[in-house]
Amino acid sequence: MNLALFDLDNTLLSGDSDFEWAQFLIEQGVLDRELFEAKNLTFYEQYKAGTLDIHEFLDFQLKPLSRHTRKVLDAWHEEFMQRKVCGMMGAAARDLVARHRAAGDVCVIITATNSFVTAPIAREFGVEHLIATEPEQKDGEFTGRVADVPCFREGKITRLESWMTQHGWGWNSFANSWFYSDSLNDLPLLRKVKSPVAVDPDATLRAHAEQQGWHIMTLR
């Protein structure tokens, strides 16, 4: 049995679903452009630079979910998938996932982006397992807070190992393990797997991958 882990934003997707969801809400008039667009851009640049305060960002990202009913949010997400996400799902990324699925590998999308935004995207890729940052819910509605450990940097390892335990697995359960990622933020988990793969990597990850002899590939 093998394990194939996929980062989502700027790895399987040729863009960032987190960033685009906020932009979508701004375009819908749900969020005030003047107040939110600059913040969204700032957080995105901090993420790319490896300086993001995840709790500050999640406060920004999850609060809007608490201001609307789940029914309204789900309707917006359907439009978001069509307008923003489907165009970011390239053939090469779909083929990569399909190859691992055809080989019988356990496939997991593991992402810092919250599960409300990413669960429909994982389904569209045909990936059964999703480990994502979890928005807190009460009676089926979002509270605006985060539940559990954010799935970010070292938190990805924490959440993945908890998920493995729930399935009765450990690292030694898998003959091989891959993790595909573009980001320096994923270096902790990339170092844990047997076969780390840098996908269209940022400069920091590319330099590290070249130094370590990791495979580097493109899905663009």
Q: Which residues are catalytic?
A: 7, 9
Q: How far is CA 126 from the centre of its chain?
A: 15
User: Tokens 């685009």 label which residue?
Assistant: 20
Cα separation, 23 vs 126, whole angstroms: 26
Say if residues 121 and 80 touch (Cβ distance below 8 Å).
no
Which residues, 6+ apart, have CB-to-CB distance to 188 below 8 Å? 153, 154, 156, 157
Contact (CB, 8 A) for 199 and 219: yes
Q: Would you give the end-to-end CA distance of the chain in angstroms?
A: 29
Q: To which residue do tokens 């590319």 refer?
A: 206
8 Å CB contact between 152 and 53: no
